[in-house]
Structure 1
Amino acid sequence: MTFTTRPELRGTFGAVSSTHWLASAVGMSILEKGHTAFDAAVATGFVLQVVEPHLNGPAGEVPIIVTPAGAKAPTVISGQGPSPAKATVKYFKDLGLDIIPGTGLLPACIPGAFGAWLTLLRDYGTAELEDVLAPAIYYARTGHPLVPRIANTIASMRELFETHWPSSAEVYLPGGVAPQSGKLFRNPQIADVYQRIIDQTKSAKNREARIDAALDFWYRGPIAERIEEFCATENVWDVSGRRHKGLITAQDMADYKPLIEKPVSVTYGDYEVFKCGPWSQGPVLLQMLQILKGTDIADLDPMSPDFIHLIVETTKLAMADRDSWYGDNPDVPMKTLLSSGYADIRRALIGGTASMEIRPGSPDGRNPNVPPLRAVGTIAQPGLGGGEPTVAREHKLPNDREGEPTLTREGAQRGDTVQVSAVDKWGNMVSATPSGGWFQSSPVIPGLGFSLTTRGQMFWLEEGFNSTMTPSVRPRTTLTPSTAFRNGKPYMAFGTPGGDQQDQWQLIMFLRHVHKGMNLQEAIDAPSFHTDHLPSSFWPREISFGAVTLESRFPEAVREELAARGHKITISDAWSEGRLAAVAREMDGDTQLVKAGSNPRGVQGYAVAR
């Protein structure tokens, strides 16, 4: 019998799965009021901004895959905001930078999450704006119990907040004291902002007009003006060891609208898997599926060294293409990258030992550009005082029993991401992966209570890439929600936090579910792994050649066999790889059966279904 920490939840009414139990419960409460999965996802997303502020915030971003009941294909709402109009390679080079800082104001992009959530609500939902904001306002004003990771992160950021980011200290060190795990934490500034939006838009003539008025308030009104003022006047310390202002203007905010796009997809047996386009890393999962089609992956034991080796080597090839070809650019050769013929060429490169190379392909005969390959530990890091830099430390994989992985450096931490998956009684389905606006990456904007996204760190300052810094385009994000159809009908919505690991963990879960008959919870619970043999999407953009991280639940013999094949093995805690959240639906005669699973890692995520 396959081990599972909790049952796969099943029902007929609906299901919500997310990375925090309060958010999932709120989503279900919206379904109980007769609203749709789209309304539930929006309410869940706004609560996640409050209860997981180290992983996402109001000024972050969110890609959303929307599947209305009976749809022939999903639709993508891109809540990934673009770079400011002033953001050019020359601007950063003139500052003496050859890599975009991962903190502060320089990497800030236009906050896309608010626009995307409200677009989903307006175009697909039924609830009022007040309905979906009320739970977030409640938890921001009355408080929510801090999970251990947030309390620990705040404590670790204390020196930076008190030394350089006093507005963050005001919110996260109330009374000069770091909040305790399990105690109630409040952010009344966020509650005030959302309440003000509700109050200012109530007089609009109908539901859609109220939502449009809220969008105007955010992107063409007081919020945009405050963001411009903060970026223009504040010199903020960042990981370069210097102070910089931001580039976002009110005009940048006014020009922003979430893009509505078609997804990209591939078929895999009875399934068709849909992802966001190459402005995300989503097509990586699709490329991996195409490569794996021509292998014996379906017959391999998911705990075996053969399975792990094949997945890792496939990942290396797809990620090399990501870093050479992906970006918010019509020049991306997406059709070829996802073709079976191209997959055949890439599959032939997989051997019996671990590759230590970065090997992008040549779609349509085009020669790839390879990004800078900086080994982990080679980039100097500044101290908090902005003095002499210190030598970068090796990546330390943290204990995810307390929460989400972060990358800790001298004076810098990055946050991660959250996940929302929902399905309702009509068969509407949504998968969304919110992120950005982490309190540990950028200072709180006084009066708003939240931080700006630093997603711009994913641009390259080297010319010639589809992801080279360019004004008013989206950074090639790591955010990558998933939706799968089975036999032509919507079946599953899933995703996970995890930066560069998101599509790795989703692939592993999907293959276990499809080939080994594991239910959603079993596929999520089973031991997992990932490779860091890729240029990190996050500052300082380093690579760990040949690195494979295994949960300690893998047997010693498996570790030894992988090491013998040349993989550089790191053993992480038994429950440390990923925070997947998934829902699914199928028909039992004329009745819908819904299913849900959520990740036990971090002791935080929960699914709700009935």
Structure 2
Amino acid sequence: MKVLSLTFLLTVTLFSAWAQPTQKPVIYGKNWMAITGKPLAATAGAITFQKGGNAVDAACAMLAATCTMWDTLSWGGETQVLIYNPKTKKVIAINAMGVAPTGATADFFKSKGYNFPPEYGPLAATTPGTVGGLIYMLVNYGSLSLEQVLAPAMELAAGYPIEAQAANAMERGKAQIKTWPYSAKVFLTHPGEKREAPEAGEIFVQKDLLVTLTKMVAAEKLALKSGKTRNQALMAAYDRFYTGDIAREFVRGAQEQGGLITMQDLAKWKPLEEDPLTVNYKGIDVYKMQQWTQGPVMLQALNILENFDLKSMGYNSPKYIHTLYQAMNLSFADRDFYYGDPRFSPTEPMKGLLSKAYARQRASLIRFDKNDADIGPGNPYPFEGKVNPYIDLLKARGYDLDTGKRNFAPKHDLGKNTTPEALYHDRLWLGTTSVEAADAAGWVVSITPSGGWLPACIAGNTGIGMSQRMQSFVLDSTINPFNVVAPGKRPRVTLSPSLALKDGKPYLSSAVQGGDTQDQNLLQFFLNVTEFGMNVQQAAEAPNFNTNQLWLSLGGTKTEDRRPKPGQLLLQSATKEEVRNDLKKMGYVLSFENRTSGPINAIYFDWKHGSMWGGSSNHGEDYGIGW
């Protein structure tokens, strides 16, 4: 009896530890679900559903609204999409990432003294992808017109009460904003005053952006009036943006401020539909974008972790944290060296990287007594029947694939990291929002859009902030031979939506903001649900941890700004003392924050009851509405 009582008490205690009461409620819906980074933008999704739109239409409306509200992105940024199509019962990926413009070469940036392309300004800009991605989604999978979908965003551009988050970001960045005349005109509504940016609640008007959006809708309406089909009319709006008068003003404004983007760059760029990458984790099929994103990191980590009994370790126990930390480090080491744009040579070894046999080999490297600061890229090539062409390059970096002795940072990068901690963490978490939508017909959409965040350089009189994603390229092939900048190439980005199917049906849809932490946090969210039985809101709010033992993808033009910090572990402030002590004994350098994750937005599909459960993290302004 005593044994039974102890077992029961232990079970209750563990469950209570895993499933804490939440600060926000689960959002329940039967007909549709709309979740994104701003309450007004979620309302745009709800409005679109009420118009009769499907989840794709609603997702596009929320994307348009978040761009207009500068929710760490703008209309000149990039969009990454996973869609479950209930008609084909398949997941597809839409790649609406812009490319490096004409003249954007490694030698060009090196000649300006950079080790990486710049963080901000016209030289940080890839070609805009979000407009093309949005229209592509509507043409192929939506049902409403562009006018209907953009109506909420156009109303916002005409004037909306701006939130403190965006208004304060404008004020903080005003010194940089003043170096770009078109940005200053939009963001600094009170020039010369002590506070030059808008105040929270002030009606923020974007006349130039409204004109741009109106021109796109006008092109659609004119095409319809002339007898064109819905899809032809949508493409007329696309063409006006990428080859017409909007494009000309965008290019003029970008080049006037020192940018490289040409009319040919805009005309040649196209959104792409792709097959996502996928692995099966204990009966659940998990889908991510291809290797021009960091998405496969989560797939690699799941393959590694499948070799361990995570549940028996206990949620966020020292052993659990250590195991996930090591699995993430192994996966990120591969990301940092092997991921890049698959449309450019060389070809990334993704078959090997995602093989279960390779994962078992990588899992065997995990030591359970201490952090391994020497983890480096593995050798996936034998797992796809090939010889690694970069053995010598890896050895030159300080990796020895034969003995297992590896040094994470290239030899020429070793030394004291002088980047202040606050700045480093800011770079780790930089940017992005997320969009989640689903409907009763079975459409599911997960988007991680970004680019053009504040302080943004606006291109001429378009009202459109340019992307800053060029900074995710490298200039040195010893860091990553697959991700060296070149004209027409997509950078390897952090942006990473997720979809999961169980028994062939939608199970989880999720995305999160947070730069290099995205797939760290989405991995833990997924395990919170699948291993520890948390509901979608509990899993979104649960304390996460982050590894900094990786090359930063964003921020800083010098190598010392980006290099890994082996053993550095960010924990939630409430982490128990005994857990801290055990982790310190393993060689971890601990830091603590109340917030240990970007805002996670997610939808869980309850097939038993025929309902959708929405989760929206308590770490930001993210908000959801269901019906």
State if a TM-score over 0.5 links the two structures: yes
Equivalent residues in 2 for 1:389-538, closer than 5 Å: 392-396=419-423, 406-407=426-427, 415-440=430-455, 442-463=456-477, 465-538=481-554
Match runs of 1:374-385 below 5 Å? 374=413, 378=417
Are 1:201 and 2:224 counterparts? no
DSSP-derived class of the 2:331 partner: helix
Whole-Å separation in 1 of the counterparts to 2:305 and 2:551 = 23
Letter in 1 for 2:505: K
1:84 is aligned to 2:107: no
Aligned to 2:569: 548
Q: 1:395 deviation in Å?
A: 3.2
Q: Return the match for 1:587 from 577, 598, 607.
A: 607
Equivalent AA in structure 2 for residue 219 of structure 1: Y
**Are the aligned partners of 1:173 and 1:179 in contact in 2 as well (CA < 8 Å)?**
yes
CA distance in 2, matches of 1:48, 1:375: 40
Which whole-Å CA distance do the structure 1 matches of 2:74 and 2:410 have between them? 30
Question: 1:445-469: per-residue Cα shift (whole Å, max 9, x none)?
Answer: 2311122101111111113610011
What residue number does 2:207 align with?
A: 188
In 2, Cα distance between equivalents of 1:468 and 1:394: 27
| Residue 126 (structure 1) aligns with | 143
CA contact (8 A) 1:439 1:450 kept: no
- Indicate how the Cα distance of structure 1 residues 140 and 372 shifts in structure 2: closer, same or farther if over 3 A, else same: farther
Contact 1:62 1:435 in 2 (8 A): yes
The 2-side partners of 1:91 and 1:46 are apart by 34
Range with bigger deviation, 505-514 or 576-585: 576-585
CA distance in 2, matches of 1:346, 1:288: 10
How far 1:479 moved relative to its partner?
Answer: 0.4
1:186-223 alpha-carbon deviations (Å, 9 max, x no partner): 22221221012112321212321221001101111122
Report what 1:213 is aligned to: 236
Give the one of 301, 310, 314 matched to 2:314.
301
Secondary structure in structure 2 of the residue aligned to 1:16: strand
Q: Which amino acid aligns with 1:351?
A: R
SS at structure 2 position matched to 1:175: coil
Q: For residue 94 of structure 2, give the secondary structure of its aligned residue in structure 1.
A: strand
Q: Which residue of the partner structure matches residue 614 of structure 2?
A: 596
AA aligned to 2:549 is: H
**Correspondence for 1:43 among 50, 58, 61:** 61
Match of 2:336 among 323, 337, 340: 323
SS state at 1:229 partner: helix
Match of 1:609 in 2: 626
User: Structure 2 vs 1, CA of residues 396 and 377 (structure 1 numbering), >3 Å: closer, same or farther?
Assistant: farther
Task: Please identify, of 287-296 and 220-229, the stretch whose mean Cα deviation from structure 2 is larger.
Answer: 220-229
Question: 1:283 and 1:178 mapped to 2: Cα distance?
Answer: 40
CA offset at residue 375 of structure 1? 7.2
CA apart distance, 1:485: 0.3
Report the equivalent of 1:359.
376
Matched residue, 2:185: 170
Say if 1:318 and 1:149 are closer, same or farther in 2 by CA, change over 3 A: same
Per-residue CA deviation, residues 111-137 of structure 1 (Å, 9 max, x unaligned), is 111101110011000011001111011
1:21 matched to 2:39? The reply is yes
Q: CA deviation at 1:358?
A: 4.0
Amino acid in structure 2 at the alignment position of 1:111: P
RMSD: 2.0
Q: Per-residue displacement from partner, 1:162-191 (whole Å, max 9, x unpaired)?
A: 3x2232222111131222223332222212
Alignment partner of 2:450: what SS? coil
**Deviation of residue 579 (structure 1)?**
0.6
Q: Distance in 2 between matches of 1:173 and 1:376?
A: 41
Looking at structure 1, the residues matched to 181 and 235 of structure 2 have their Cα atoms a distance apart, in angstroms, of 34
Q: Is the 8 A contact 1:377 1:394 kept in 2?
A: no
| Partner residue in 2 for 1:401 | none
For residue 396 of structure 1, report the CA deviation from its aligned partner. 4.5
Instruction: Report the alpha carbon displacement of residue 517 of structure 1 after superposing the two structures with TM.
Output: 1.1
Contact 2:74 2:450 in 1 (8 A): yes
Which residue of the partner structure matches residue 248 of structure 2? 225
Provide the rounded CA distance (Å) in 1 between the counterparts of 2:72 and 2:591. 25
Partner of 1:570: 591
**C-alpha spacing 1:294/1:70, structure 2 compared with 1 (3 Å):** farther
Which sits farther off after the overlay, 15-24 or 221-230? Answer: 221-230
Offset from partner CA, 1:478-508 (integer Å, 9 cap, x none): 1000000011222221110111000000000
> Post-superposition shift, 1:473?
1.1
- Between the aligned partners of 2:271 and 2:50, the Cα distance in structure 1 is 29
CA deviations 1:415-456 (Å, max 9, x no partner) are 50000011001011010000001131x422231112210111
The two structures have a TM-score, normalised by structure 2, of: 0.87
Question: Per-residue deviation at 1:105?
Answer: 1.4
Q: By how many angstroms is 1:297 displaced?
A: 1.2
Contact 1:171 1:449 in 2 (8 A): yes
User: Structure 1-normalised TM-score?
Assistant: 0.89
Unaligned ranges ≥5, structure 2: 1-15, 383-387, 398-408, 557-561
Report if aligned partners of 2:27, 2:624 keep a CA contact under 8 Å in 1: yes
AA paired with 1:172?
F
Paired with 1:96 and 1:505, the residues of 2 have a C-alpha distance of 34
Q: Secondary structure at the match of 1:202?
A: helix
SS at match of 2:23: coil
C-alpha distance in structure 2 between counterparts of 1:372 and 1:550, whole Å: 27
